[in-house]
Chains A and B, each alone.
Chain A
Amino acid sequence: MTRSLLHNKWFTVPVLWLFAIFAWQIGAWIYGPEIIPGPVATWKGAQELLEDGSLVKYIGVSFYRVFLGWALGSLLAIPLGLIIGKVTAIRVFAEPFLNFIRFIPPIAFITLFLVWFGIGEQSKIALIMYATLFIVMMNTLTGVLSVEEDKIRSARSMGASEWQILVHVVIPATTPYIFTGIRLAMGTSYMAIIGAEMIAANEGVGFLIWNSRLFFRTDWIFVGLISLGLMGFLTDRLVGWIGRKALYRYGVISSAPIRR
């Protein structure tokens, strides 16, 4: 009886959340609302931000930047990864360079991108593109290199041209790797955009969190943090769901723990 109850997510998940909110409330009682605003105070802060429309706008702005930079970065990274993976001559030169530059965190580029692209949208989108580019490229590259030789050989002996092998064998076989890459890149994109918005922006969730310190509105900071968690969670679930539905035949499988 208790065993089956513990395996029911409709029981365990709400209990967990109730416990977390309770612990949060205790923290609020101990340290006071300036340090830890409780659930009720945070909800009131959120209501304020919802009423003047700023929360919805900030979430929209941050999401737009992440989505645009992530989509553009992926579109650029996939063909690059395929070329680097497929052409040995390019890979020999590109790989050491890639392995050097991918260790520079996106946030480290903020100041440089501000100088290059200005304080407008371009610098933020460029930053997200950078954050996306290397993850997707490295995953695509790994995918191309992991295509079994037998698959390429069998296609070749069935008369496929090199171009047909790329389109009908290498790309489908690499799809799960590409998908993992773009899904991971979504996470890094959120990290990068919050950093960028804290340093140089007048809008966005990062700006909200950073700006709230001026008014000592810890409750707004909490609202920003919770919004980020929800945004990341929902987009990841959405991307995962789309991947499962559209790319099932390529071997993209669910990583959602609930389905286990």
Chain B
Amino acid sequence: MSANTSASANANANGSLSNTITIERLNKSYADHKPGSIHYIIKDIDLVIKGGEFFVLLGPSGCGKSTLLNIIAGFVSKSGGNLRVGDEEICKPGRERAVVFQQADSSLFPWLTVRQNVEFGLKMKKMPKEQRRVISDRFIRLVGLFGHENKFPRELSGGMKQRVQLARVLANDPAILLMDEPFGALDAMTRRTMQKELSQIWQETNKTVIFVTHDIQEALLLGGRIAVMSHGPNARITDIYDVPMDYPRDASLPQFQALHRTIQSHFDAELEGGLHP
């Protein structure tokens, strides 16, 4: 418990104005075969995400929400606009922005044990072994993998692999967690457990989280604010919903269901608009 308190104290220091993510008129485009015509994947995105916030990007598959996340991660270069964390312009990956990928199998290192995976970032920083062990112990416990330290990823279930990914990035003490549909490949029951634990871990560590999903219920269970993206190409953020509910959230509450319906009808309207332009 004392480990958790110190973690949250640590993160509170991070959760200041210095890691506010500011996005202004952000574009990602590619040139078409015909000269002169430009296709936008995402167009004119404006967002301010405050430090310590749980922010959800919600949109249909292929709308460009992953593209936006990859630009924030620094994996994909933007075509125009501004992107800052604090005062710093972002153009390449950085330690302060950790990424949790959808596919644990392609992002975890199968030749390393759970502990070695969790310690990877610390080892790259050349931290001494004893110190690494203390930190990896703390985060392996935090994600509930105590007793599985010496297993290899192939020996774990899908949910446990995603826990390893989470512990692996948390061990580097990033200010921002970028999560690209991390529970999309899990079965419904495991997904529900992981959602609960993620919101718990978020509350304990107070990181800024940007969470990409196409599942309205998941967005409502997790997000403090939900940005709804329109269908690509030329994807934009059409609306931002506040979710003024306490955690853990109950999907059967009338308030929850009302918001669910509102967002659902938003998508339905857009779909109709798309069919009859």
Contacts and interface: CB of A to CB of B under 8 A. Distances in A.
B101 A150 contact: yes
Contacts, number: 69
Interface in B88-108: 93-95, 97-99, 101, 103, 106-107
A54 B111 CA distance: 46
Interface stretch (B119-127, B219-227, B265-273): B119-127
B109 A158 contact: no
A172 B169 CA distance: 20
Contacts of A150: 101, 103, 106-107
B109 A169 contact: yes
B60 interface: no
A251 to B, nearest CB: 6
A164 B123 CA distance: 10
A154 B94 CA distance: 10
A156 B107 CA distance: 11
Determine chain A's interface SS by DSSP, over half rule: helix
Interface residues of B, number: 26
Contact of A159 (B75, B109, B124): B124
Report the contact-size class of chain A (Cβ under 8 Å from the partner): 20 to 34
Given A153-B75, A175-B111, A158 B106 contact: no
Interface string A135-178: 00000000000001111011111111100100011001101000
A206 to B, nearest CB: 39
Nearest to A169: B109
B74 interface: yes
Interface string B73-88: 1110000000000000
B101 A154 contact: yes
A158 B121 CA distance: 5
A22 interface: no
A148 B74 contact: no
A251 B73 CA distance: 29
Interface in A50-105: none
A246 to B, nearest CB: 12
B107 A249 contact: no
Nearest to A157: B93
Contact of A151 (B73, B75, B106): B106
A159 B107 contact: no
B152 A154 contact: no
B172 interface: yes
A250 B111 contact: yes
B95 A155 contact: no
Nearest to A158: B121
B183 to A, nearest CB: 16
Given A151-B106, A168-B124, A249-B152, A158 B169 contact: yes
Contacts of B125: 159
B132 to A, nearest CB: 13
26 contacts: A148-B107, A150-B101, A150-B107, A151-B107, A153-B75, A153-B107, A154-B101, A155-B120, A157-B74, A157-B95, A157-B98, A157-B99, A158-B95, A158-B121, A158-B169, A159-B125, A160-B120, A160-B121, A168-B120, A168-B124, A169-B109, A172-B109, A249-B111, A249-B112, A249-B152, A251-B110
Interface of B: 73-75, 93-95, 97-99, 101, 103, 106-107, 109-112, 120-121, 123-125, 152, 168-169, 172
Return the 3 tightest CB-CB contacts between A and B, nearest first.
Answer: A158-B121, A150-B107, A148-B106
